[in-house]
Structure 1
Amino acid sequence: MVRSLVVDATGISQRSLWKAGMMSSENFSGLSGGAFMPEGRSERLYRVAFDLPGDTAGWAHVSTERLWTAKTSVKMEVQVRNTPFYQKGVAFGDIVRVRADHERREFVFEDFVSKSGHSTVRIIIKDPTVRGSLEALLRSFDCSWEIDGTGIMWAIDVQPGVNYAAMRKSLVRSASDGKIGIEEAALAEGHLNGLESTDSQ
C-alpha cells in the first residue's frame, strides 16, 4: 500500500505567500523554477478563494488560499493555473466550479469538475544547503515550482508524464537525512498507479 507523506511544519511561522506578493497582476506570464507557459505569452488570470479546513488553517495561520485560474468555455468553471501551498487535493490544470460570493466580493471554490493528471507535492526546507540539489532534481524531472516568501516552503507541480516513483525515491532519501519535509498534497491517479506498481515488484 502506498502511504502519503505528511509535511512536518513544526516551527514555521505565519507567511506572506510568494504568489500573493509577487503575482499581483492579473496578467501573468510565468513562475519561478520551471516552464509555466511559452516565453513571451501571457494570459488573463483570476483569483479564486479556497477556504481551508480547520487543521490546515491552524498551522498555516491563514483561513483562505487564493489561487490563480483561467476561464474555460463553461460559465463558472475555471482552470487552476498555479500550485497551492496549503489547499489539499488541488493541482495545476484542474478544472473547478466556482461561485460568486457577493459579500466577500470574490469567486469562491465550490466543487471539482475534472482532474488534470498533475500532482502537487510540497516541501519544507530544513537544511538550506539542499536547495541547489533540489532544484537540479526538479529540473531533471521537468517540474515547475513556487516558493513562499520565506524560501522555506516549496509547492511543486509534477506533470502527468513524470516518473514520480523515481523522483519520490530521491525526495524520500533527502527527507530521511533530515534535509526536507514532504507532503503529497494531491496525487494524480497516474502517479499513484506508478507507485503501486513499484511497490508490487
Structure 2
Amino acid sequence: MFKVAFDLNADASGWPPVSVERLWGEKTDVRFEIRVANTPFFVPGIAVGDLVRVRADHERRELVYEGFTAESGHSTVRIVFLRHDARDSVERRLRGAGCSWETTEGFKKLIAVDVPPDVAYEELRRWLLERIESGDIELQESAISATHRGQLSQFP
C-alpha cells in the first residue's frame, strides 16, 4: 500500500478546507499506476478501486496524482449531517444498501461514502434526496460511475 497525494484547489467559498488529501493505493501491473483503496473526503471524481497515474515527486518525497486512468464502477458520495439525530437512520440505510463509509476527526459531521457497483443507486439516491428535502443532510455526488449513472433516469 502507498499513500498518494492529491493536490486540491479551493473554490471561492474556501472549499475544500485542505490543499492536499492523501489516499491509500495499491500497485497494479502497470508502472506508476495505483488502484485507489479508500474513499476520498475532498478529492473530486475519484472512487474506491479507480485506477490513477502517479509520479514520484522527489522534492516532496511522495507519490503525487497525475491523472485518471479508469473507473472501477464504485461511486463516491459525501454526506454532511445537518441534524445530529439523522445520523443513525442514514447510516442504517447506507449499511442496508451495501455501502461503507469513512469518518474523520476534523470534520465530525461529514462522511465519505463508498457506493459499490452492485448497489441500486437510483433507489438509494431517491431516499437521500428525501433526506435533503427534510433538512437532515447535504449531499455531494463527487464521483458517480457509469454503472450508477446508467441506473438514473435523470442526472445533472
TM-score (norm 1): 0.73
CA distance in 2, matches of 1:141, 1:153: 19
1:131 is displaced (CA, Å) by: 1.1
Stretch of structure 1 that moved more, 74-83 or 48-57: 48-57
Q: Is the 8 A contact 1:56 1:86 kept in 2?
A: no
Map 1:111-122; keep pairs closer than 5 Å.
111-122=67-78
Matched, 1:102 2:58: yes
> Following TM superposition, by how much is the alpha carbon of 1:59 offset from its aligned partner in structure 2, in angstroms?
2.2
Against the structure 1 CA distance between its residues 56 and 120, is the aligned structure 2 distance closer, same or farther, given a 3 Å change threshold? farther
Aligned length: 153
Q: Which residue of structure 2 lines up, in the alignment, with residue 87 of structure 1?
A: 43
Q: SS state of the match for residue 130, structure 1?
A: helix
Partner residue of 1:162? 119
Of 140, 145, 153, 1:188 maps to 145
What is the 5 A alignment of 1:38-53?
45-53=1-9
Tell me if structure 1 keeps the 8 A contact 2:10–2:16: no
- 3-state DSSP of counterpart to 1:59: coil
Q: Which 5+ residue runs of structure 1 have no aligned equivalent?
A: 1-44
Q: What are structure 2's unaligned runs of at least 5 residues?
A: none
Identity %: 47
1:75 Cα deviation from its structure 2 partner: 1.6
- Give the deviation of 1:55 after TM superposition: 1.3
SS in 2 for 1:173: helix
RMSD over aligned CA atoms reads 1.4
For residue 153 of structure 1, report the CA deviation from its aligned partner.
0.6
Q: Write the letter of the residue equivalent to 1:54.
A: A
Matched residue, 1:9:
none
Q: In structure 1, what is the Cα distance between the partners aligned to 2:69 and 2:132?
A: 34
Q: Measured at CA, do residues 70 and 184 of structure 1 come closer, stay the same or move farther in structure 2, by a change above 3 Å?
A: same
- The structure with more strand, counted as a fraction of residues: 2
SS at 1:91's partner residue?
A: coil
- Supply the AA of the counterpart residue of 2:42: Y
Q: Give the structure 1 partner of residue 86 of structure 2.
A: 130
- Secondary structure of the residue aligned to 1:124 is strand
- For residues 133 and 55 of structure 2, the distance between their equivalents in structure 1, rounded to whole angstroms, comes to 42
2:8, 2:16 within 8 Å by CA — same for their partners in 1?
no
Please identify which structure carries the higher helix content. 1
TM-score (norm 2): 0.94
Question: After the TM superposition, which segments of 4 or more aligned residues of structure 1 sit over 6 Å from their partners?
Answer: none
CA distance in 2, matches of 1:56, 1:157: 27
